Amino acid sequence: MKNLFLILFLILGIGITYAGKNYKVTVTYEIIYEYYDDSNGSYMGEKPTGTSSNKFSFYAETPHEAEEKAISQCSSTCSSSGTYQGPGEYKGKKCKVYQKRRVISARAQ
């Protein structure tokens, strides 16, 4: 009987040790403008325009796991490749400007 209680106590202790917690993760991404020729639609180039960030909360066992979850979530909410921004000019030529975003980093707290 004592052995049964000891085994149950050990299992419970191991379970509590490996329990996760809530992490707040800040994902930073780069905003890039892509330029396409107005007349034939060919790619002309791109320019980074800055960075931005989003914050997420995740329940995870490790900070790394929380960061991976945040990057995955951000790839659907932060990423907006191909969002039309309007007409523009690139190296003296008229063009159409599109915005894309690229994840730079994720930091769990």
Is residue 61 in a domain? yes
Q: pLDDT tens digit string along 69-100? A: 888 887 777 666 678 999 999 999 999 999 98
Q: What is the pLDDT of residue 101?
A: 87
User: Is pLDDT larger for residue 8 or for residue 48?
Assistant: 48
Residues 38 and 85: beta-carbon distance below 8 Å: no
Is residue 14 in a domain? no
Is residue 9 in a domain? no
pTM (2 decimals)?
0.69
Q: pLDDT at residue 19 above 80?
A: no
Is residue 73 in a domain? yes
Backbone φ/ψ region at 30: left (φ over 0), alpha (ψ -120 to 50), beta = beta
Q: Which domain range does residue 28 map to?
A: 19-108
Q: To 5 degrees, how large is the angle CA 44–CA 47–CA 51?
A: 150
The total of structural domains in the chain comes to 1
Residues 46 and 97: beta-carbon distance below 8 Å: no
Mean pLDDT of 34-58: 92
Is residue 10 in a domain? no
